[in-house]
């Protein structure tokens, strides 16, 4: 996704998770379905977008992506959380629960 498209999506969506990954990243491939499952089951109103780092280098540079995978959560157009490289799935879900409940319930 190009930088302008991503910025527009972030500004128009209530909640979005941007998953920065790489084609040859084995951790990225293992982690992605787990993150998607958590979002689908626990946080269905959060949109998921994946950005391949090798295809969108300018977008990655603008969002200061220095390692992959990196997950950035945006709520109401503002960066809420950022996780890089070593990501705890349980911590990710736990950190999203309270703001999600406040924002959508």
Residue 52 belongs to domain spanning:
3-104
pLDDT by residue (tens digit) across 71-99? 999 999 999 999 987 888 999 999 999 99
Q: Please name every residue paired with 79 in a beta bridge, in sequence order, or none if there are none.
A: 74
pLDDT by residue (tens digit) across 38-48? 999 999 999 99
CA distance 103 to 85: 27
List, in order, residues 6 or more apart from 29 with CB less than 8 Å away: 21
CA distance 46 to 16: 5
CA distance 82 to 72: 4
The tally of domains found in the chain comes to 1
Instruction: Kindly report the CATH number assigned to the domain that includes residue 90.
Output: 3.40.30.10
Q: Please name every residue paired with 82 in a beta bridge, in sequence order, or none if there are none.
A: 72
């Amino acid at each position: 996704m190009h930088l302008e498209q991503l910025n527009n999506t972030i500004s128009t969506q209530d909640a979005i998770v941007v998953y920065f990954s790489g084609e040859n990243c084995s951790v990225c491939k293992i982690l992605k379905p787990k993150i998607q499952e958590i979002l689908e089951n626990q946080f269905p109103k959060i949109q998921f977008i994946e950005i391949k780092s090798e295809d969108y280098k300018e977008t990655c540079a603008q969002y200061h992506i220095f390692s992959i995978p990196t997950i950035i959560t945006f709520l109401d157009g503002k960066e809420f959380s950022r996780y890089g490289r070593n990501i705890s799935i349980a911590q990710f879900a736990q950190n999203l629960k309270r703001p999600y409940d406040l924002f959508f319930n």
